[in-house]
Amino acid sequence: MNILERYHAMEYGPAPEARNEADAWLAGRDFAKALFIDGAWKAAASGKTFDTSEPSSGKLLAKVSDAGAADIDAAVAAAAKALPKWSASSGYQRGKVLYAIGRAMQRHQRLFAVLESIDNGKPIRESRDIDVPLAIRHFIHHAGWAQTLENDFPDHKPVGVVGQVIPWNFPLLMLAWKIAPALAAGCTVVLKPAEFTPLTAILFAEICERAGVPKGVVNIVQGGPEAGAAIVNHPGVQKIAFTGSSEVGKIIRKATAGSGKKLSLELGGKSAFIVFEDADLDSAVEGLVDGIWFNQGQVCCAGSRLLVQEGIAEAFIAKVKVRMSRLRVGSPLDKNTDIGPLVDRTQLDRVKGLIAEGAKQGAICWQPDAALPSSGYYHLPTLATGVSPANILAQEEVFGPVLATMSFRNTEEAIELANNTRYGLAASVWSENVNLALHVAPQLKAGVVWVNGTNMFDAACGFGGYRESGFGREGGREGMFEYLAAKLPVGPVIKPAAPSASPVEQADGSLIDRTAKLFIAGKQVRPDGNYSLAVATAKGKLAGEVGLGNRKDIRDAVAAARACKAWPEATAFNRSQVLYYLAENLSGRAEEFAARLVQLTGATAKAAREEVEQSIERLFLYAGLSDKFEGRVHQPPARAVTLALHEPVGVIGIVAPDNAPLLGLISLIAPALAMGNTVVAVPSERHPLLATDLYQVIEYSDLPAGAINIVTGRSAELCGVLAKHDDLDGLWVFADADTCAKAEADSIGNLKRVWTGNGRSLDWASNDAAGEVFLRRAIEVKNVWVPYGD
């Protein structure tokens, strides 16, 4: 055997990380008093505990206090008591506390990493080099946001007491993603870690004690779903930030509907890892290993669907198999380990079950020939080929070390396959042609896209999903907005529409009595049911009739909005010109619209003229902002630039209020259109003629067919149909409280982004009812990571 052969034949010896410090910490703590409430350590009021055990052996690590409703009450009360002082403290004060937390964590970096690996099972290389450093960076990064809050977020205030519920896959990192921005914004928190992984959060609470976090600002409670639900449903909480499964995310969306609580959901994923034939295949294989086998695949943004171009598929899969057979499965504390155990037996059983079902549905599941440790919840890395797009392994989040593979012929097919999922968290694109990669990235329905890379994260760059991967972003500027409430000019309470007391008296004869149709796909169309709704003047006489839209009309309108590609694909300058035309054309008919307002609402001639003038001004404003509300470029510590692109949400439903029926409608439609969304609008139920009069203005303004669709009728009923429609991406509702609550509850099918006034309208005439606050709701931020260097 020559030296080279000898070198290749050499085996790795074990290189265990010392665990004595962690064991001493475990032995020295009273876990029956593990609730950190109001700066003190408490037992659960019920005295109950739950077990946390070590995934690599199944051995019990600790019996931890299990919080119940009374403990959550105490934690929320402590957070509420601490809120006024904390939110009133200067940004510098809060920044110093955040920085002190980061520095204290740095001093205990090793203990955090070892504890995390013991409790979760993740390889020490990952907890030491990724989880813990990223968590520390998060706190230090957010110290700066605290200090610059007033400058960067004028007209915003802290949202209040925040309830935060997190999963077990990145226990410390998820805690950091939640707590750092909340504290920077001036909020106080009640956080619940997952029941499988309570330990690093307990250590973190100790750090808070030492870093001078005022009592009650950070409260950490331990427990399972019941404790989570008690936080979610607590009336003293103003915002819920949740990371976890889409299933629980939907429960939470429903539970908070109508409560007025702000909500962000970071949920599951089924992210595509796309390899084009011109990719550097060896790099792509390394990327893939990281993409799917990082943390045993228990990663929300895991690249669990490999899409590889046909011509290279065979060669690429062969390389992947060779690499898989070299992955080392073993103790999480061994520095050479690539793959540790799954977090718990239930998770192991779930993964096995999904693989068996995938195989039943035709997938060929391959695993390297390697032995597993004799105890613990280990699973071999698994490659599934022959996977049809409908196979369970291609559709369901496995949350384990399982890669589903499919091939594609051309770019269009790659994009189509990548988007063929109900999720939309992340994607990875591999090609040496950066033009191609940057052509594909914007077309992927995912909140994060990595070009020639994967799993790149940074505190300055937002992270979060589209579709059933949830809504809201964590990290950076966009993450800060999740903990801030924008100043909006609150308007009148909206009462439910009275059952129609049809105005029967004929009008004064000077008006043409006709039934205005619906406006769908650029055409005026009769409502499906052929019914109409009588519209009254301010004096209770018949002003005219409008079509009574129904479920089918909404479906047609959504289909038309979805089919309209010309608008979202138009340049921002182009959109701006069209909005200017709209303003011009409305201006040409200002007198007519003012007369209509007087007739329908009883406004004075002066007030009516003002409302029309302000509507024109608002169109002008959004025309001007179309090409200015742009994304940013981040320069994270990695050798990469991150392009935070502003993309339209997609198809947005808008239910407009009765007050200021022209200005209210335009104040909602214009920002949505400005950002490239297509719109299905339900105008004021009482004064819909202001909207139907707009048809001609729209027709003369070069707006592509389907960009705006208007369905008149009963607002509450049509809003319900919109909320349940799974091809609608967003829904803005200014209606009565009950309709708003239902819109939120009924939106869970596809987790569309819902914005409601919670039963109140806005003062549309106020300058605060316009601008960035609205534009922000009309966009998704997509972070595209582009690495550079040789």
Under rule CB under 6 A, residue 568 binds ligand NAD: no
**Which residue number has the CB closest to ligand NAD?**
228
Per CB under 6 A, the segment of 21-29, 263-271, 308-316, 658-666 that binds ligand NAD is: 263-271
- The one-character DSSP state at 572 is H
Alpha-carbon distance of 679 to 51, in angstroms, equals: 51
Per CB under 6 A, the segment of 241-249, 314-322, 514-522, 565-573 that binds ligand NAD is: 241-249
Select the residue interacting with ligand NAD from 49, 127, 222, 243 (CB under 6 A).
243
- The one-character DSSP state at 712 is -
What secondary structure does DSSP assign to 299-331, as a single string?
-TT---EEEEEHHHHHHHHHHHHHHHHTPPB--
Under rule CB under 6 A, residue 652 binds ligand NAD: no
Active-site position among 187, 300, 461, 740:
300
Under rule CB under 6 A, residue 708 binds ligand NAD: no
Per CB under 6 A, the segment of 74-82, 226-234, 568-576, 718-726 that binds ligand NAD is: 226-234
- Alpha-carbon Rg for the chain, nearest whole angstrom, is 28
Backbone angles phi, psi at 266, to 5 degrees: -110, 105
In the complex with ligand NAD, the residue whose CB is nearer, 244 or 527, is 244
In the complex with ligand NAD, the residue whose CB is nearer, 465 or 683, is 465
Sign of CA dihedral 492, 493, 496, 500: negative
In the complex with ligand NAD, the residue whose CB is nearer, 186 or 268, is 268
- Smallest distance from ligand NAD to CB 223, Å: 7
Question: In this structure, what token pair is assigned to residue 224?
Answer: 């399972």
Alpha-carbon distance of 84 to 212, in angstroms, equals: 17
Per CB under 6 A, the segment of 96-104, 242-250, 334-342, 683-691 that binds ligand NAD is: 242-250
Question: In this structure, what token pair is assigned to residue 604?
Answer: 């004075």
Under rule CB under 6 A, residue 221 binds ligand NAD: no
Scanning residues 440 to 469, which ones bind ligand NAD (CB under 6 A)?
A: 465, 469
Residues for the chain: how many in total? 790
Under rule CB under 6 A, residue 267 binds ligand NAD: yes
In the complex with ligand NAD, the residue whose CB is nearer, 173 or 719, is 173
Q: Is 266 a catalytic residue?
A: yes
Side chain identity at residue 625, one-letter code: L
Select the residue interacting with ligand NAD from 217, 229, 536, 644 (CB under 6 A).
229
Site string for ligand NAD, 338-377 (x = CB under 6 A): ----------------------------------------
- Smallest distance from ligand NAD to CB 190, Å: 12
Backbone angles phi, psi at 580, to 5 degrees: -65, -40
Select the residue interacting with ligand NAD from 83, 98, 162, 194 (CB under 6 A).
194
Select the residue interacting with ligand NAD from 67, 221, 289, 300 (CB under 6 A).
300
Are the beta carbons of 470 and 751 closer than 8 angstroms? yes
- Smallest distance from ligand NAD to CB 247, Å: 6
Scanning residues 411 to 440, which ones bind ligand NAD (CB under 6 A)?
A: 425
The distance in angstroms from the start CA to the end CA of the chain is 36
Listed in order, strand segments (DSSP E) in 500-568 are: 515-516, 518-520, 523-525, 532-536, 542-547
Residue with tokens 């990719």: 279
Under rule CB under 6 A, residue 245 binds ligand NAD: yes
- Smallest distance from ligand NAD to CB 288, Å: 19
Under rule CB under 6 A, residue 165 binds ligand NAD: yes
Under rule CB under 6 A, residue 220 binds ligand NAD: no
- The one-character DSSP state at 69 is H
CA dihedral 588→590→595→599, nearest 10 degrees, is 120
Under rule CB under 6 A, residue 400 binds ligand NAD: no
Listed in order, strand segments (DSSP E) in 136-277 are: 156-158, 161-165, 188-192, 218-220, 239-243, 262-266, 272-275
Alpha-carbon distance of 708 to 720, in angstroms, equals: 19
Active-site position among 17, 54, 195, 266:
266
In the complex with ligand NAD, the residue whose CB is nearer, 221 or 554, is 221
CA distances from 445 to 173, 440, 468, 673, 782 (A): 25, 10, 11, 19, 9
Per CB under 6 A, the segment of 265-273, 282-290, 700-708, 715-723 that binds ligand NAD is: 265-273
Site string for ligand NAD, 120-159 (x = CB under 6 A): ----------------------------------------
Backbone angles phi, psi at 295, to 5 degrees: 55, 40
Question: In this structure, what token pair is assigned to residue 78?
Answer: 């402590």
Alpha-carbon distance of 194 to 177, in angstroms, equals: 15
- Smallest distance from ligand NAD to CB 549, Å: 36
In the complex with ligand NAD, the residue whose CB is nearer, 235 or 789, is 235
Select the residue interacting with ligand NAD from 55, 167, 547, 653 (CB under 6 A).
167
Alpha-carbon distance of 337 to 299, in angstroms, equals: 17
Side chain identity at residue 449, one-letter code: V
- Smallest distance from ligand NAD to CB 525, Å: 41
Side chain identity at residue 112, one-letter code: F
- Smallest distance from ligand NAD to CB 298, Å: 7
Question: In this structure, what token pair is assigned to residue 284?
Answer: 């792509």
In the complex with ligand NAD, the residue whose CB is nearer, 122 or 156, is 122
Select the residue interacting with ligand NAD from 108, 128, 137, 192 (CB under 6 A).
192
Which of 746, 758, 751 is CA-nearest to residue 730?
A: 751
Residues touching ligand NAD, count (CB under 6 A): 30
Strand 542-547 and strand 730-733: pairing?
unpaired
Per CB under 6 A, the segment of 146-154, 228-236, 477-485, 531-539 that binds ligand NAD is: 228-236
Bridge partners (DSSP) listed for residue 761: none
Scanning residues 504 to 543, which ones bind ligand NAD (CB under 6 A)?
A: none
Neighbours of 637 (CB within 10 A): 10
Alpha-carbon distance of 42 to 52, in angstroms, equals: 18
Alpha-carbon distance of 120 to 716, in angstroms, equals: 47
> Which residues are tagged catalytic?
266, 300
Site of interaction with ligand NAD (CB under 6 A) = 165-170, 192, 194-195, 224-225, 228-229, 232, 243-245, 248, 251-252, 266-269, 300, 397, 399, 425, 465, 469
